[in-house]
Amino acid sequence: MTTRSDIMRAIKGKNTKPERILRQKVRAIAPGYRLNRRDIPGSPDIAFIGRRIAIFMHGCFWHGHDCKRGSRVPKDNRGYWTAKIARNRARDEETLARLSREGWRTLVVWECELRDEAALEARLRALLA
């Protein structure tokens, strides 16, 4: 039988399908970005270093978005998940505040926002143009 830690270990942290979709859209507007730069606070999924722009792709569940998928809390071990998602949200807020203090412009793209391609493209163009 598969243990919970085996299941969690199998969840990818980089190069997920939503990240690949986002990168494809960004590449069409403004190529020349860097991926997962650990020397930038929060290790943004996409970074334009010279322009000081950081883009984060957030999974709705993992980062506690207020959409249908993000507001769902697992039935098993409810206290653990509530605390974990709260920690993730607090870390995200601190990361965005720190980047702002350091002069970076940021954009958070939620997984559910990938469905509305026109709206996402408009947000990306507004940031990258």
Pairing mode, strands 105-110 and 53-58: parallel
Tokens found for residue 101: 């203090």
Residues 34-63 have a mean pLDDT of: 95
DSSP conformation class of 81: H
Domain of residue 102: give its range: 50-129
> Do residues 46 and 55 touch, judged by C-beta distance below 8 A?
yes
Domain membership of residue 66 (yes or no) is: yes
Domain membership of residue 99 (yes or no) is: yes
Domain membership of residue 83 (yes or no) is: yes
Domain membership of residue 88 (yes or no) is: yes
| Model confidence pLDDT, tens digit, residues 2-24 | 676 766 666 666 778 999 999 99
| Model confidence pLDDT, tens digit, residues 53-68 | 999 999 999 899 999 8
Domain membership of residue 32 (yes or no) is: no
Instruction: Report the predicted TM-score, pTM, of the whole model to 2 decimal places.
Output: 0.88
For the chain, the domain total comes to 1
Domain membership of residue 21 (yes or no) is: no
Provide the strand spans (E) within the chain: 34-35, 46-48, 53-58, 105-110
What's the CATH code of the domain at 89? 3.40.960.10
